[in-house]
Structure 1
Amino acid sequence: MSDNTEQSKKFQPKTPVELAPPKDDPITFEYLSKCDGTNEGYPTYVAIMGTVFDVTGNASYTPGKGYHVFAGKEPNRALAKSSLKPEDCIPDYEDLPDNEKKVLNDWYTFFSKRYNVVGKVKSEGSSNL
């Protein structure tokens, strides 16, 4: 297992980012789907392993750009597989091999050092997060 400080440095942004304290507001998949960069008045969000990140302002997530496929979704499987296929942009990842789960964890770390955490994904109809 590698040293945590080494891991931590590996994902540091080139330019320091001032992040707001993380929020744990419940965000439904319905609301998340509206945060895909195509709906005026809505931010652009990407969820990873239940945590919702605000990627508004990063052009890579806007319509027509490479990572737009992730916007408004919880694309765990796609991130774990390093896939840009829309059919892979689903939350399910538990059945993936450990090496792909590690890639997903690396993406989570990468996002957590660059984007504000605005909430947690909440399933419709569920009484808890």
Structure 2
Amino acid sequence: MSAAKSSLFCLALPYFCFVLVLCDKYVPVRVEIETNEGGVPPKMFTADELAKYDASDPELPIYLALKGVVFDVTSGKRFYGKESDYNILVGKDASKAHALWSLEEKDLTHDLTGLTDKQLEGLDEVYEKTYKPKYPVVGYMDYLIKQQEDDIQKRFKNEL
């Protein structure tokens, strides 16, 4: 994980000390889409498809998306099940809610617009240290795959 950096410089002159603080902007962890044989992602979800996995049907697994990555959180049923405190987070990509530590309806979105570097860093920490090591990835959100395809197209055009 790339962390925000700051440097402190002091230029001492006979009667003055100038202090300059340089801050690098935090760069969020980039999600790498892992593919099956043949370069195909495991499964691509739309928001409507993901909504089916919100623990309302006991026959289906419980899925939660974070940063466009869909995790099977069924093993954490006591946290994410139908009557649990964090059930509001499942069946959707609630990345903003994780970044803000919020359970408010308005924050249940993947849109990270307006978040601070510290909030983005917190989201990456939850993603890297909680979800990735604990829950299996079952797919990716369609918008993440589209965004990365667009990025590849832009890089390819710039290299020509």
Selected match of 1:107 from 106, 126, 140? 126
TM (norm. structure 2) is 0.61
**Does the C-alpha gap of structure 1 residues 99 and 65 become closer, same or farther in structure 2, counting only changes over 3 Å?**
same
Which one is further off, 23-32 or 64-73? 23-32
Q: 1:88 is aligned with what amino acid?
A: D
Judging by fraction of residues, say which structure has more helix.
2
- Correspondence 1:80 to 2:99: yes
Judging by fraction of residues, say which structure has more strand.
2
Structure 1: tracts of 5 or more residues without a match: 3-20
Following superposition, the deviation at residue 94 of structure 1 comes to 3.4
Following superposition, the deviation at residue 91 of structure 1 comes to 0.8
CA RMSD of aligned residues (A): 2.3
Structure 2: tracts of 5 or more residues without a match: 5-34, 150-160
- Correspondence 1:71 to 2:82: no
Aligned to 1:121: 141
Deviating above 6 A after TM superposition, structure 1's stretches of 4 or more consecutive aligned residues are none
SS at match of 2:74: coil
- Correspondence 1:26 to 2:44: yes
> Whose relative contact order is higher, 1 or 2, with alpha carbons under 8 Å and at least 6 apart?
1
TM (norm. structure 1) is 0.74
Give the structure with higher Rg (CA).
2
